[in-house]
Structure formats: C-alpha cells, structure tokens
C-alpha cells in the first residue's frame, strides 16, 4: 500500500507534508504534489500534515478520484523531488474547497 495525493491539492500545493516524509517520496509540479509509490513506505506521517485533507492510502482514495493513484505514479517519474516546505500557492485558500479540479492540473 502507498499514499496518494488527490484533487484537493490542485491549485493549493501546501507543502507541510514534504518535510515530515522520512523517505523524500514527494514530487512537485506547477500546481500539485504527488507521492512516488516506489518510495512511499506507508508510514502515514504526511496525512495529518495536509491542511486540505488531500492525502489518502491508495485503498481509501475517495470515490471518483481513483485516477489519482496512477497519476501520482506517472507524474512522480517526471517531476522533481521536493523535501522542504515552500509557500502554498497564492490562492490556496480559495481553491481548497473547490471540487472537480482535475482539468486545472498543470503537468509542466
């Protein structure tokens, strides 16, 4: 089992989670974070750090967001590793409660 970043992270990109990851499994894109499933050790320390509740065990991903399991695996291969906290995106508070954001995901 691995942990997965889901839709709530899009256009928010809070990074409190990356600082607690003991294996540096997070990768950052322009407006989203992902977890490398090959590095994740299923420790769950990142889950309570996410202020928008975007991180779930792959078996517990909310209905309708199952595609994020594959998306984390795919994008973690292309995006750079992130290990230090950075400022959230400027309009993170606004975007935190918005649903159906997959179309807003920036891949590069």
Q: Rounded to 5 degrees, what are φ and ψ at 13?
A: 55, 50
Q: For residue 63, what is the domain's CATH number?
A: 3.30.70.20
Report the number of secondary-structure helices (H) and strands (E) in the chain: 3, 4
**Beta-bridge partners for 35:** 26
Residue 100 lies in a domain: no
For residue range 53-79, list pLDDT tens digits in order.
Answer: 999 999 999 999 999 999 999 999 999
Domain around 53: 3-84
- Tell me, what's the pLDDT at 56? 98
Torsion (CA) 72, 66, 97, 93 in degrees, nearest 10: 0
> Does 12 reside within a domain?
yes
Mean pLDDT of 23-43: 98
CB contact at 8 A, 88 and 16: no
What CA–CA distance (Å, rounded) separates 100 from 15?
Answer: 21
What's the domain count of the chain? 1
């Amino acid at each position: 089992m691995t942990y997965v970043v889901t839709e709530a992270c899009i256009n928010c990109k809070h990074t409190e989670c990356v600082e607690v990851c003991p294996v540096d499994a997070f990768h950052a894109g322009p407006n989203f974070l992902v977890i490398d499933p090959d590095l994740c050790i299923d420790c769950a320390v990142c889950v309570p750090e996410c202020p928008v509740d975007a991180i779930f065990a792959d078996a517990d991903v909310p209905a309708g967001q199952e595609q994020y399991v594959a998306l984390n695996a795919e994008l973690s291969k292309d995006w750079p590793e992130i290990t230090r906290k950075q400022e959230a995106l400027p309009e993170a508070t606004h975007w935190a409660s918005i649903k159906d954001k997959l179309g807003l995901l920036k891949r590069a």
